[in-house]
Structure 1
Amino acid sequence: MTAIISNKGELLKTISSNDETVELNTPKGCQAVEDPPEPNMYYQDGWVVMPAQPTSYHIFNYDLKDWIDPRTLDEIKAQKWTEVKSERDRLEFGGFEFEGNTYDSDQVSQGRIMGVAVAGVDQVWTLADNTTVNLTASQLQQLYVALQAHIASVHERGRIARQLIFDAETKEQVEEINL
């Protein structure tokens, strides 16, 4: 096999053929060299292994011989906000603590907690780990208050993160933001 590389060392294609065909398939400004011994290599007086790709957004810059993130600051901010919203939803719907137990907080569970808090009756409640606990009507109302505090806390963290994203002036500042 023969590798056709650009003048920047980028592997363009590999072919298996005689020298004349290789020459005909080598574009101007490119050269034919020995096939790379492994994937993810570039050519610079011999094959060199590329460093690991930092993120899926990075592309390899053959001039710099390094990975770069070509996204604009606004694109990075939009992606970070998408990630924060996803994490916010995961936290909101991923359960919460009340009186030492973990309760489900998915949308169905939130509706059930609201309904039982309004009903004002004692009830056996199934916890996130599928064990049960006896709760009084008063505890069920407190459970609802704890759920609302949990949701409010998660969303407050989301609002803070969104403002930090909006205010960020560099890619590095955006990347440091977590929910």
Structure 2
Amino acid sequence: MTIDLSGLITPADKLREAKERKRSEITAACQAAIDGGFFFDGHHYDSDQRSQTNIIGTCNAVAAGVPLPEGFIWRTADNQDVPMDVAGIIALGAALLAHINAQYAKSWQLKAMADQAESMGDLSDITWQTHAE
């Protein structure tokens, strides 16, 4: 009698699949953090895709020499109007870049931890909040 064991799922298979799920979870958390806004100069700004496009586009325009309209403001996530000049816009763009890069760096570190996990318990200990902001 021959028993076919090819269809059995081993503990190593389960851990590999759990690692793949953890990586997907981290990717989703990273995107949510990127889109969740950022702080700059004491204000909270939106950073969803539309806001990223607006900030980057405005930075590119002023860098190309396009003047800002007189009395130019940027609206914060909580609807406060903040006066901005060219230097302020460039600094806002730099803060957005730093925010996005920090989220990616955090995700890369957590994914490396997931890849190195040796047990399901190790994996369950890895959450977006386990890494210092």
- Given the two structures, how large is their TM-score scaled by the length of structure 1? 0.58
Shift of 1:114: 0.7
Q: Which has the higher helix share?
A: 2
Matches within 5 A, 1:69-108: 72-108=14-50
Match of residue 122 from structure 2? 173
Shift of 1:119: 2.1
Match of residue 152 from structure 1? 101
Q: CA RMSD in A?
A: 1.3
SS of 2:83's partner is strand
SS of 2:92's partner is helix
SS of 1:87's partner is helix
Match of residue 127 from structure 1? 76
Q: Which has the higher strand share?
A: 1
The code of the aligned residue for 2:105 comes to: E
Match of residue 111 from structure 2? 162
Q: Distance in 1 between matches of 2:43 and 2:30?
A: 21
SS of 1:118's partner is helix
Question: Structure with the greater relative contact order (CA < 8 A, sep ≥ 6): 1 or 2?
Answer: 2
Match of residue 59 from structure 2? 117
The code of the aligned residue for 1:167 comes to: Q
Q: Distance in 2 between matches of 1:82 and 1:146?
A: 26
The code of the aligned residue for 2:56 comes to: M
Q: Which runs of 5+ in 1 are unaligned?
A: 1-70
Q: Percent identity?
A: 31
Q: Which has the larger radius of gyration?
A: 1
Shift of 1:162: 0.7
Match of residue 20 from structure 1? none
From 84, 90, 98, give the equivalent of 1:141.
Answer: 90
The code of the aligned residue for 2:111 comes to: R
